[in-house]
Amino acid sequence: MRQRAGAGLPAVRRAAMTGSNQYARRGGGPAVTAVQPGGLARPPADEQRLCRDLYGGQCDMPVGPHRWAHGTHPSLNMVEFAASNSRCPDQILRDLAASRMAQIKELVAGNPSCPYDVLVMLADDRDAAVRLAVAKNRTAPAEPVLRVLAHDKEMFVRRWVASRPDVPVWLLEELKADREVHVRCCVARNPASPAGLLELLVRDEAQQVRQAVATNTNIPMALLEALLRDVSPEVVNAALENPSLPAATLAMWQLVHGSRPGGS
């Protein structure tokens, strides 16, 4: 006999695995939120039962009232709460990461307490929104998670990796050669990009990339002054607006050139 999906798990965890809603509120009315002293919201009585199923009795975690105001799907509310809560036990996050519901996996992927092995697994998830959530997670390790995401097929995932201020230089070196201009722009703007990398991007054929370099406040002064001579007015204007440009250099440029390119 074929075993039912999620058999043996607590009922609310089984709901996350299968997408069922056996805990749906009867009557269809909106959930009523109880507020504890101090203003922390607490789930209503039926959802406290779900919380006990999910947390083993630990149902005093604070949560905003909006979490309990969806009305007809308290089981999904509870699972979403668990998946996004930084105090959720590791094993429950592992269970929820195996859900067939993309929105649940996305919340787990963005949880700052998400276990290392779960982040590794979700970095290779078939759903791009889940992979993006991993890329945004500040606890995602460079190896292997960010390395995998730096080569993701979706440009917006690679863009987020290239924008992270904590991304290792060796990954920025790889991303500077990305086929998408927008990814290279993120590398060019990233304050973590070293001088040698910016020097290469200053010679990028795409005007948008050179313009992005000109906005980087950590750019070496020699490179910033070189961008003042760029053929693109947009690049020159970006360099002139960089707060790192010395006032004396700006005054000299205005003395020689007058108004900014484009008459601005």
State the average pLDDT over residues 151-179: 97
CA distances from 89 to 93, 108, 111, 210 (A): 7, 12, 11, 46
Lowest mean pLDDT among 39-43, 86-90, 157-161, 198-202: 39-43
Q: Is the pLDDT of residue 60 over 60?
A: no
Residue 231 neighbours by CB under 8 Å, 6+ apart: none
Q: Is the pLDDT of residue 190 over 50?
A: yes
Distance separating alpha carbons of residues 213 and 114, to the nearest angstrom: 34
- Locate 111 and state its tokens: 């949880």
Q: How is 26-75 classified by DSSP, letter by letter?
A: TT-PPPPPEE-TTS-EE--HHHHHHHHHHHTT-----B-GGGG-S-S-HH
State the average pLDDT over residues 215-241: 94
Burial class (CB in 10 A: 0-12, 13-18, 19+), 237: middle
150-239 topology per CATH: Leucine-rich Repeat Variant (1.25.10)
pLDDT in tens, 14-46: 444 444 433 333 333 333 333 333 333 444 444
pLDDT given at position 170: 96
Q: How many other C-beta atoms can be found within 10 angstroms of the C-beta atom of residue 132?
A: 22
Question: ∠ at Cα 188 (186, 189), nearest 5°?
Answer: 65
The helix or strand, by DSSP H or E, that contains position 157, with its residue range, turns out to be helix 155-163
Q: How many other C-beta atoms can be found within 10 angstroms of the C-beta atom of residue 149?
A: 22
Domain regions of the chain by residue span: 1-85, 150-239
| Strand spans (E) along the chain | 34-35, 41-42
pLDDT given at position 75: 62
